Amino acid sequence: MIRNDRVTIRPATLADRRAVYEWMVHSDVSASMMGPPRFPDAPIPTWEQFCADYVPYYFEGTNERFGRSFLIEAAGKDVGHISYSRVESAPDCIELDIWMRSHADCGRGVGSTAIDLLCERLHADLGATRFIMRPSARNIRAIRAYRRAGFEVWPMTPQDRDAAFGPGDYDDTVVLHRIMPAS
pTM of the model: 0.94
Q: Is the peptide bond before 36 cis (omega within 30 degrees of 0)?
A: no
Residue 39's CB is within 10 A of a number of other CB atoms, namely: 21
Q: What is the pLDDT of residue 14?
A: 97
Domain that includes residue 70, residue range: 2-179
Low-confidence ranges of the chain (pLDDT < 50): none
Q: What is the pLDDT of residue 183?
A: 67
Q: What total of structural domains would you count in the chain?
A: 1
* Helices 140-148/110-126 angle, 10° precision: 50
Q: What is the pLDDT of residue 108?
A: 87
Q: What is the pLDDT of residue 150?
A: 95
Q: What is the pLDDT of residue 89?
A: 76
Q: What is the pLDDT of residue 167?
A: 86
CATH of residue 134 = 3.40.630.30
Half-sphere exposure (Cβ direction) of 63: Cα atoms closer than 13 Å: 11
Q: What is the pLDDT of residue 154?
A: 93
